[in-house]
Amino acid sequence: MFSARTAFIVNPHAGGGSTGSVWHAVSVLAEKSLGPFSTSITRHPGDATTASLAAVRKGARRIVAVGGDGTLNEVVNAFMTFDSSVREDLTLGVIPNGTGCDFVKSASIPMNAAAAIRLIREAPVRRIDVGKAVFSDQYHQRVTRYFLNIASFGLGGEVAQMASRMPWKRSPLISFMLATLISVLRYGKKRIRITTDHRINGDWLVWNVAVSNGCFHGGGMNIAPDARFDDGLLHVTVVGELSLAGIFLNFSKLYDGRIYQVDKVYSMTATHLEAASDEQVLIEIDGEQPGTLPICIDIIPGAINLIAPSGEAV
C-alpha cells in the first residue's frame, strides 16, 4: 500500500540528458524494489513543482526526485506549499543524476541509482531544515523560494549563471571550476550590506557570501564544512577581500574543506540574514540563478522528512 502511494518526478534533461537515457532501466529496477508508483516526466522549469503538488493531492506520500539539485529544489518548493501537518506525512527520496548534485554529498545519499533505490526501500527518515529566501526576481518582483542546500550571492550567482551555459553538462566539476575561474577574472568583488539576526554586520567587500544548510555547492566546493541539515542554523561563509592572487593560490582550499584556513574568509551562524547592495548582485539558490539582491533568508527547522542515512553527515 505504501509503495502505491509513491510518485517519481523525473527530469530527463538533468545531467546533460543522461537522466532521460537511463530512466527506463532505473524505473524497472525501482518497480522491482519498491512496487508500483506513478511517474511524471518534466519538460520545463517549474514542472517538478507542479507535478509534485498534483501527486500529493492525488494521495502520494513518498515523492522521489530523479535529477539534479534544480529538480530537487522544485520538489522541495512543492512540499513547502503545504502546512506542517501535511508535510509531517510526506517523505522525500532522491535518485541523483544531474549537472550539480551537491546536496546528496552532504546528505550521504549514494550517486549510484541501484544503491539510492535500496536506500529508499529501507526508508531511514531524517527530519531536516529548509531555508526560506525572499528576493528580487528578473522582473524586480519580490518572490519566495525555499532551498535545501545553499543560497549564495556575489560570485556564486555569476558562476551559476555561467555554468548553466557551459557545454560540459556531464562533467559538473569541470563546468563549475571553469565558470568560477572565468567569473573571478570577469566580475570581481562586490560591496554588500549584511545583517544577521537583526544585528548590523556592516558593509563587506566580498567575492561571495554563502548561506548554507548543506556543505557543498558549485559542483563540489566545500563552502561550509561545519554545516548540518538538522541543527536549526544557517552557516554563513564570507569570502572577503582576498586579492586575485589570493584566490588562485588558495583555490584548492576553497574546494577541499580547508576554506576556514584562508585569510579573509569569515564564518558565522544565524537564523536570519538580510543582504543588500547598491550594485547588481546575482544570487544562486541550489545551483540555479533566479534573481538578485536584496535578499532575506530564514531557516525553518525540521521542515521536511528526507530519506537519508543516519549519522553526522546530515
pLDDT digits (tens, 9 = 90+) for 176-212: 778 778 888 888 899 999 999 989 888 999 999 999 9
- Calculate the average pLDDT of the chain: 92
Domains annotated on the chain, with CATH: 3-123 (3.40.50.10330), 130-302 (2.60.200.40)
Number of helices followed by number of strands (H, E) in the chain: 10, 17
Which comes out higher in pLDDT, residue 307 or 166? 307
Q: What is the mean pLDDT of residues 108-122?
A: 96
* N residues, the chain: 314
Helix (H) or strand (E) holding 32: helix 18-34
In the structure, what pLDDT confidence band is assigned to residue 243 with cuts at 50, 70 and 90? Answer: very high
d(CA 105, CA 96) in angstroms, rounded, equals: 10
Question: What pLDDT digit, counting tens, does each position of 21-32 carry?
Answer: 999 999 999 999
For 130, residues 6+ apart whose C-beta sits below 8 A from its C-beta are: 76, 80, 146, 147, 148, 213, 299, 300, 303, 304
Class of residue 54 by CB neighbours under 10 A (exposed 0-12, middle 13-18, buried 19+): middle
Which comes out higher in pLDDT, residue 290 or 247? 290
The answer to whether the beta carbons of residues 73 and 286 sit under 8 Å apart is yes
Question: What pLDDT digit, counting tens, does each position of 54-76 carry?
Answer: 999 999 999 999 999 999 999 99
Q: What is the pLDDT of residue 1?
A: 39
